[in-house]
Amino acid sequence: MPTQPAQLIHLSRARSLLQQRGLDGLVVSLPHNVYYVSGYWGLLMSAAHFDAAFFALLPAREDQPASLILPSMELRRLESAGGTWMPETFIYTSADDEQDHIAKEGVAYSGWPVRDGSSLTALEQRWIEKTRAQEQRTAGNARGALARAIEFAGLSEAKLAVDDERIGRWLPVAGLEKVTCLEGRELLGDIRRIKTAAELKLMRHAAKINESAARRAAHALREGARWQDIERVYFTAMAEQGGQGSYMICGAGGPPSGVIRRNEPMLIDALGTYRHYHGDFGRSMVLGEPPALMKKRHQALCRGWDAVQTRLRPGVLMSELAQLAVETIRGNGFPEFVYATPHCLGLEHTDDATPIGAQQGAGKDVMLEAGMVLNVDLPFTEIGWGSMHLEDTVHITNDGFEALTSMNLDIIAV
């Protein structure tokens, strides 16, 4: 039996926000957004040089069909991976005239040959049925298929939010001169901020395996070891648990001497994914006995995190959390502490509507809502001494929060 198509998107929230802002629909092409909107992560999304190979179209109205646009070669994989909740799919092959333009008509797609007289599995039969249903519905390229999906949905004069400004230049060339495209990055951030039950399930697992891999790597500390040796333990542990490591750092510049030294305070900050959803975890660690000043500063970090936890509930601004953390940590004997950075977490490391090219934390202030997942970063580095960190992941509930990481705040002393 095929698996149930994934619906990650908060559909009612998405349609409500689209309508509130006077928009008729949403078109996305960035891989993580296509995955979020359609529930499908394409094979070619993970490969380089396949720009704008996929699109997902979500109309604001329920009576207009949502569509996934994908390469014809992915039809079988789409079926094997559980499909998409979207009722329509549009595929593309190549243009009849082989010209590099927006081609709404393409070479008919018949798929791979079927051996005569063979006994087919249920999955193979679904592959054939899916291909036949799309055979005469093939565009010449992805942009042409998108144009066909927009026309099919009755959105030829629509106002659409997009995550790629080029879409607004492509559609007029495809005969959709009356479509208006508006930048949709902030809208997508607002939609994705509240997680669905399906997303939370993935994020709980991402947090668990990411912390486990980070702790395993920390316990691999050895005097004279290079940081690459420690990183390798983390990346291997993530892969063994079905995840993928993004990075694991001990400070932006690596070990100050280039190798691990005994009794030197160090931070560990590990970011990894499970089915494209992030886990983010930070702690302080040391090879040997933690120095007295490290223990004192760590105690202050813990007091800061304790204070923040009392404010983890709907209606509180992220800026309030940051201010409370800094003031509490400095007031507990750590006056050198610099800053705290709360941020949303999800399909992106900072799952907020951050301006393009801006540093983490530079976006608009956000008020906590039930359903959000966030991290509160409490990093510190003092050149000539060492570094420290404390970072956990929480899910905001109606009356407080659910911890997704273990909340074991102890210094990792190896």
pLDDT value of residue 354: 61
What local confidence, expressed as pLDDT, does residue 1 receive?
A: 35
Label residue 133 by pLDDT band (50, 70, 90).
confident
Write down the pTM of the prediction. Answer: 0.93
Q: pLDDT tens across 214-273, in order?
A: 999 999 999 999 999 999 999 999 999 999 999 999 987 899 999 999 999 999 999 999
Domain end call among 157, 174, 192:
192
What is the per-residue pLDDT across 146-203, written as a single tens digit (0 to 9) for each?
A: 999 999 999 999 999 999 999 999 999 999 999 999 999 999 999 999 999 999 999 9
Residue 382's CATH number: 3.90.230.10
Q: Are 57 and 171 part of one and the same domain?
A: yes
Lowest model confidence (mean pLDDT) among 97-106, 271-280, 334-343:
97-106
- Are residue 201 and residue 348 in the same domain, yes or no? yes
Q: Among the listed ranges 100-109, 142-151, 286-295, which one has the minimum average pLDDT value?
A: 100-109
Instruction: Give the per-residue pLDDT at 352.
Output: 74
Q: Tell me what the mean pLDDT of segment 306-325 comes to.
A: 97
Residue 407 has pLDDT above 70, yes or no: yes
Is 4 within the bounds of a domain?
no
Question: Looking at the structure, do residues 168 and 209 belong to the same domain, yes or no?
Answer: no
Q: Domain end: 142, 157, 192, which one?
A: 192
* pLDDT computed for residue 252 by the predictor: 78
158 and 220 within one domain: no
Give the CATH number for residue 115: 3.40.350.10
| Statement to judge: residues 95 and 230 lie in one domain | no
Q: Residue 357: pLDDT band by 50, 70, 90 thresholds?
A: low
Q: How many domains are there within the chain?
A: 2
Shared domain for 244 and 107, answered yes or no, is no
Is position 2 within any domain? no
For residues 207 and 173, membership in a common domain is answered with no
Q: What is the pLDDT of residue 362?
A: 57
**Domain containing residue 167:** 11-192
Q: Is the pLDDT of residue 98 over 60?
A: no
Q: What is the 3-state secondary structure (H, E, C) of the chain?
A: CCCCCCCCCCHHHHHHHHHHCCCCEEEECCHHHHHHHHCCCCHHHHCCCCCCCCEEEEECCCCCCCEEEEEHHHHHHHHHCCCCCCCEEEEECCECCCCCCCCCCECCCCCCCCCCCCCCCHHHHHHHHHHHHHCCCEECCHHHHHHHHHHHCCCCCCEEEECCCCHHHHHHHCCCCCCEEEECHHHHHHHHCCCCHHHHHHHHHHHHHHHHHHHHHHCCCCCCCCHHHHHHHHHHHHHHCCCEEEEEECCCCCCCCCCCCCCCCEEEEEEEEECCEEEEEEEEEECCCCCHHHHHHHHHHHHHHHHHHCCCCCCCEHHHHHHHHHHHHHHCCCCCCCCCEEEECCCCCCCCCCCCCCCCCCCCCCECCCCCEEEEECCEEECCCEEECCECEEEECCCCEEECCCCCCCCEEC
Same structural domain for residues 159 and 210?
no
On whether both 178 and 234 belong to a single domain, the answer is: no
Q: Which of 142, 176, 192 is the last residue of a domain?
A: 192
What is the rounded average pLDDT for all residues in the chain? 92
- Note whether 160 and 174 are same-domain residues: yes
Is position 185 within any domain? yes
Shared domain for 223 and 125, answered yes or no, is: no
Give me the pLDDT at residue 20, please. Answer: 97
pLDDT digit string (tens) for 42-63?
Answer: 999 988 778 999 999 999 999 9
**Structural domain includes residue 265:** yes
Find the mean pLDDT for residues 116-127: 92
